Amino acid sequence: MKRDQRKQIITVVLAVIAVIVFLRLAGVTCLIKYMTGISCPGCGMTRAWVAFCTGHFHRAMQYHPLFLLAVPAAGYLVIRAVLKAHGIPSERFKKWDYSLLAIACTALFVCYAFRMADPQDTIVVCRPQDGVLFRWITWIKMILR
C-alpha cells in the first residue's frame, strides 16, 4: 500500500471517528433512527455486545438476537485477508462473499421484520413523528401555508 493511500485511509477513519464523537456528544446514538424515527435492522447490536461483554447474555439476546453473527463474519474476513496476503486472488472469494452477504442480510431483515411486528419490543420502534425528517417536513408545510 502506498503512502498516499495510507494517508487517505487514515484521513477517512479520523473523519468517521470525529463524526461519531460529535453525534454521541449531541446525544444521537443512531443516525438512521434520529433522522427517520424508525429503527434500523441493526438496532440494539452495540448494546447487545456491551451486555454480552459484561456477562448479561439474556439481555444481549433481547437487544439483538443476531449479535453473535459478527463473530463468524469477522472470522471470515480475517481468514480472507490472510489468504489474500498469501497470494490467493480476490476473485476466488466472490462466490463466498456474495453468498455470505446474502445469508447475513436475509437473516438480519427477517429478524428485523419479526422485531418490528412485535408490539412488546421496545428496542426496535417505528415512530416517524419522532424523526428529524418528519419534523422538517411538518415545519416546511407550516411555513408554506
For cell 502506498, the residue is 2
Does some domain include residue 145?
no
Give 73-105 as a DSSP string.
HHHHHHHHHHHHHTT--GGGGHHHHHHHHHHHH
Does some domain include residue 10?
no
Q: Closest by alpha carbon to 42, among 58, 27, 18, 63?
A: 63
Mean pLDDT over 47-59 rounds to 93
First-to-last C-alpha distance (Å) of the chain: 57
Does some domain include residue 20?
no
- pLDDT reported for residue 24: 80
Residue 1 confidence (pLDDT) above 70: no
Mean pLDDT over 32-38 rounds to 91
Does some domain include residue 8?
no
Q: How far apart are CA 90 and CA 96, in angstroms?
A: 11
Task: Considering only residues 9 and 1, tell me which one the structure prediction assigns the higher pLDDT.
Answer: 9
pLDDT in tens, 7-20: 888 999 899 889 88
Does some domain include residue 142?
no
Q: How far apart are CA 142 and CA 68, in angstroms?
A: 46
pLDDT in tens, 83-135: 888 888 878 888 889 999 999 999 999 999 999 999 888 889 899 999 999 99
| Angle at alpha carbon of residue 48, lines to 44 and 49, rounded to 5° | 125
Does some domain include residue 24?
no
Does some domain include residue 29?
no
Q: Taking a C-beta distance cutoff of 8 angstroms, is the pair 24, 13 a contact? A: no
The pTM score is: 0.72
Strand partners for 38: 126
Q: Which segment of 2-6, 51-55, 127-131 scores lowest on mean pLDDT?
A: 2-6
Mean pLDDT over 32-57 rounds to 91
Does some domain include residue 131?
no
Range of the domain at 44: 39-125
pLDDT band at 36 (very low <50, low <70, confident <90, very high): very high
C-alpha cell at position 11: 484521513
Number of domains in the chain: 1
Average pLDDT across the chain, whole number: 89
